[in-house]
Amino acid sequence: MKFVVAIIKPFKLDEVREALSAIGVQGLTVTEVKGYGRQKGQSEIYRGAEYAVQFVPKLKLEIAVDSSVVPQVVEAIREAAGTGQIGDGKVFVLDLEQSMRIRTGETGAEAL
């Protein structure tokens, strides 16, 4: 099992969700987050003073999937969330040791 964490542009959520549903991903968790990457945020002007918006709003998606589908999941996110512009985000893949469906007590791949 793998745990896929994706940081995406907020307005791309619906497209990503549809793309993941299309390849059979059963569920995902979304969190509103703020952060910065190589561009170190953006520059804005307020009342004549320039300032950096150091943390840009993003969405963090967390998806637990079977190891076999990870390449498709990552590719689906890349296609759906990509705009070709800076700030499109990142995808991280982590090993997932255990999972359990709380209602039934099923564990492992059964619980995904």
CB of residue 55 to other proteins, shortest distance in Å: 11
Distance CA 37, CA 28 (A): 24
The residue ranges that bind other proteins (CB under 8 A) are 45-49, 51
Paired tokens of 6: 């994706």
CB of residue 44 to other proteins, shortest distance in Å: 8
> For other proteins, which is the closer residue by CB, 56 or 112?
56
> For other proteins, which is the closer residue by CB, 48 or 84?
48
CB of residue 51 to other proteins, shortest distance in Å: 5
CA 86, 71, 21 angle in degrees (round to 5)?
A: 85
> For other proteins, which is the closer residue by CB, 52 or 94?
52
Residue labelled with tokens 């907020």? 10
Distance CA 101, CA 107 (A): 6
DSSP 91: E
